[in-house]
């Protein structure tokens, strides 16, 4: 049992990666659409590229979305409008009319005229209440059918034009009076009916919508059937509208039949295989080409988390409305990976993510082509992400690539630009703008995952930072030495294509451990007194080598990132404090070399190897007397060759060719630093 536990402990890193791999796979598969995939690709107006297709089973031909929409519009236009009748209103109105008629007309009228006018008034009222008077104005088509309900029972049918609207009262009065030749009394009648006429119809919205819904439910979503074995389309035949609808119907029926309970587990298993295969390729890439990333569980978790996050966000958008799928800024992914790792890893992870998204998005080939091309452009164009202008330029290029590629695809599909959807260009622009969110996202990731990007390195390179100010106050000579080394390291890194910003920052902080005992280092000794004169060689060597451990402790107290602390650990590797070692050797025969050696480890990256070379050359260059170009060349060659012989660069992925390039830079820089000046006359 104890052996088993020990074995688990030894392999806990691999076990964690396995669990992370499984969890990510299952989560991604869970997000996938719950349907099978039709095995044929087809487009309207394009030749059928597959074999002759016969109907594999009986299926109904579904109506197109346009046909369904037209039927719904027709039903809506012809649906009955229901109005509720208040049958007490007409009786009340006629009663009031009888009472107020005499007050509306003068008593001087002849009785026959008065009787005639009274009958005309009754005719007007009959016209008003033949169907009814509306309580308010409604924006319905005049030809819409209506039904009048009296106590929920249909009393009368007609059309909306039959109903009297509030603004039609005056015109009806004038029409009847003109017909009777009594237009001189229109003011009297208008005044009378203004007070008397009341609406008796109210629109019943709920009853109308219920009837409309009942008609909608009667819509048949299929038109005709295709029998099993019927020829659907032959190879090379152009897909016309009818065939396209039949193929869409077959696709829908096929996917619904495939995703049945009996086949659910098999299809789920197939999805799991494909997703796990893609994620396995990502893990194998890390294992083979980015071993330092693979060994760091936090970094592996970070990579898998971002892949899953992009798939999750895209799934949400597609489920909401697939037309917004290009708004998701997928190009943030390679930007983030490039900021924290490198371009090659960023592009590989981006391609894997886009391949997985092909299962989710519509028009998957077009989508994958656009996103992969955009990702490649992102990787090729964005350098020095900490410079804001570079990010804006890259966003402009990404947006342009989206627009150009979509434009080309549309012409291929449609043959012209007459029906192009210009709205898509808005989504591409929004996607580009959303890519700018990468800056705050990088900052958040740095805090959450403890990673370091070039943006943070730029902040750390500020010589006004608290720690570097403390170094300049306590150990001014060391601070000046660090600035010189930083300039040399940056130039050397640029020469061989290494991370110049990382090399510079590492150089600025590599000697902060000297703040603990600054006067024990010669660059900080401003007087002729040397404290090493009172110490033994071993004690002096212990203080000198101790600045590495002291530097690591100071860096951790000040929350410097591990990438910077690595420079403090490795800038002397396992080299020997040669001066005190030889001094001890002169005094004693039996000397243990480890007492005079730095604790290591040796440099394990190009940047840390560059720092070791630049640090040694800059420090030793102070001892040059009467420097000449020949002396400087021999001096640089001698120091770096000794480091190579000592095996200091065995763990760093740096080539001899790159070391030669660094030597060349150092010789050139030192020659400029120690150039001779003419002697000015007094």
At 164-205, the pLDDT tens digits run 887 787 888 888 878 777 778 777 877 777 778 888 888 888
The answer to whether 363 and 412 are in contact (CB under 8 A) is: no
The answer to whether 533 and 475 are in contact (CB under 8 A) is: no
Check whether 682 has a pLDDT greater than 60.
Answer: no
Alpha carbon distance 472, 554 (integer Å): 15
**Residues whose CB is less than 8 angstroms from the CB of residue 402 and which lie 6 or more positions away in sequence, other chains included:** 326, 370, 374, 428, 431, 432
Rg (CA), the chain: 43
Band the pLDDT of 267: cuts 50, 70, 90.
confident
Question: Rounded to the nearest 5 degrees, what angle is found at the Cα of 57, between the Cα atoms of 55 and 63?
Answer: 75
Check whether 678 has a pLDDT greater than 50.
Answer: no
* Cβ atoms < 10 Å from Cβ of 393: 13
Q: Where are the alpha helices (DSSP H) in 415-465?
A: 423-435, 438-449, 454-460
The answer to whether 295 and 302 are in contact (CB under 8 A) is: no
Band the pLDDT of 677: cuts 50, 70, 90.
very low
Instruction: Please give the pLDDT value at position 286.
Output: 94
Q: Which long-range contacts (CB under 8 A, 24 or more apart) does 306-310 make?
A: 306/333, 306/336, 306/337, 306/349, 307/24, 307/279, 307/282, 307/333, 307/349, 307/352, 307/353, 307/356, 308/24, 308/27, 308/28, 310/353, 310/357
- The whole-model pTM stands at 0.64
Band the pLDDT of 262: cuts 50, 70, 90.
low
Alpha carbon distance 30, 542 (integer Å): 59
Question: Rounded to the nearest 5 degrees, what angle is found at the Cα of 304, between the Cα atoms of 605 and 449?
Answer: 60
Q: Classify 600 in phi/psi space as left (phi over 0), alpha (psi -120 to 50) or beta.
A: left
Q: Classify 230 in phi/psi space as left (phi over 0), alpha (psi -120 to 50) or beta.
A: beta
For the domain spanning 454-673, the CATH number is 1.10.3210
DSSP helix/strand/coil, 512: helix
Alpha carbon distance 121, 331 (integer Å): 78
Alpha carbon distance 42, 60 (integer Å): 19
Mean pLDDT of 404-417: 79
């Amino acid at each position: 049992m104890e052996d088993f536990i020990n074995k688990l402990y030894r392999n806990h890193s691999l076990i964690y990666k396995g669990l992370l791999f499984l969890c990510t796979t299952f989560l991604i598969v869970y997000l996938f659409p719950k349907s099978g995939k039709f095995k044929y690709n087809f487009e309207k107006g394009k030749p059928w590229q597959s074999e002759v297709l016969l109907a594999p089973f009986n299926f109904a031909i579904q109506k197109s979305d346009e046909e369904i929409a037209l039927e719904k519009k027709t039903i809506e236009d012809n649906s009955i409008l229901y109005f509720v009748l208040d049958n007490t209103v007409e009786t009340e109105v006629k009663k009031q009319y009888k009472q107020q008629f005499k007050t509306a007309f003068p008593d001087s009228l002849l009785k026959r005229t008065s009787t005639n006018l009274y009958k005309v008034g009754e005719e007007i009222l009959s016209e008003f209440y033949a169907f009814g008077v509306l309580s308010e104005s409604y924006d319905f088509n005049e030809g819409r059918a209506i039904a009048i309900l009296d106590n929920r029972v249909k009393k009368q049918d007609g059309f909306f034009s039959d109903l009297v609207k509030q603004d039609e009262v005056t015109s009806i009065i004038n029409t009847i009076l003109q017909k009777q030749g009594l237009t001189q009394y229109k003011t009297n009648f208008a005044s009378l009916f203004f007070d008397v006429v009341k609406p008796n119809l109210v629109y019943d919205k709920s009853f109308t919508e219920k009837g409309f819904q009942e008609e909608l439910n009667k819509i048949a979503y299929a038109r005709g059937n295709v029998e099993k074995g019927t020829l659907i389309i032959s190879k090379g035949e152009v897909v016309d509208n009818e065939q396209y609808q039949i193929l869409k119907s077959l696709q829908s029926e096929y996917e619904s039949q495939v995703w049945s309970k009996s086949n659910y587990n098999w299809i789920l298993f197939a999805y799991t295989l494909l997703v796990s295969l893609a994620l396995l390729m990502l893990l194998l890439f890390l294992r083979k080409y980015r071993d330092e990333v693979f060994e760091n569980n936090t970094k592996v978790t970070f990579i898998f988390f971002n892949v899953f996050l992009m798939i999750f966000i895209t799934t949400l958008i597609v489920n909401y409305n697939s037309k917004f799928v290009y708004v998701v800024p997928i190009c943030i992914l390679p930007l983030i990976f490039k900021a924290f790792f490198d371009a090659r890893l960023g592009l590989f992870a981006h391609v894997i993510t886009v391949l997985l998204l092909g299962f989710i998005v519509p028009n998957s080939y077009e989508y994958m082509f656009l996103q992969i091309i955009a990702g490649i452009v992102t990787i090729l164009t964005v350098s020095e992400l900490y410079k804001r202008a570079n990010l804006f330029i890259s966003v402009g290029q990404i947006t342009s690539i989206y627009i150009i590629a979509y434009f080309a695809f549309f012409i291929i599909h449609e043959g012209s630009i007459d029906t192009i959807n210009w709205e898509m260009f808005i989504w591409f622009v929004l996607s580009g703008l959303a890519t700018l969110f990468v800056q705050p996202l990088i900052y958040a990731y740095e805090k959450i995952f403890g990673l370091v990007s070039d943006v943070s390195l730029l902040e750390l390179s500020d010589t006004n930072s608290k720690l570097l100010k403390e170094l300049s106050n306590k150990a001014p000579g060391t601070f000046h030495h660090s600035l010189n080394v930083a300039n040399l390291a940056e130039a050397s890194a640029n020469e061989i294509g290494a991370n110049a910003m990382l090399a510079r920052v590492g150089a600025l902080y590599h000697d902060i451990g000297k703040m603990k005992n600054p006067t024990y280092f010669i660059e900080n000794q401003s007087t002729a007194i040397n404290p090493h004169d009172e110490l033994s060689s071993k004690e002096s060597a212990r203080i000198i080598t101790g600045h590495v451990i002291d530097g690591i402790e100071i860096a951790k107290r000040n929350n410097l990132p591990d990438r910077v602390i690595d420079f403090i650990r490795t800038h002397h590797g396992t080299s020997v404090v040669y001066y005190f070692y030889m001094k001890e050797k002169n005094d004693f025969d039996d000397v243990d070399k480890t007492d005079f050696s730095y604790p290591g480890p040796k440099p394990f990256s190009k940047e840390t190897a560059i720092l070791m070379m630049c640090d040694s050359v800059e420090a030793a260059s102070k001892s040059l007397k009467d420097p000449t170009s020949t002396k400087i060349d021999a001096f640089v060659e001698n120091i770096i060759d000794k480091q190579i012989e000592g095996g200091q660069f065995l763990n760093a992925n740096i080539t001899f060719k790159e070391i030669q390039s660094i030597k060349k830079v150092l010789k050139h820089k030192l020659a400029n630093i120690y150039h001779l000046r003419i002697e000015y006359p007094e």
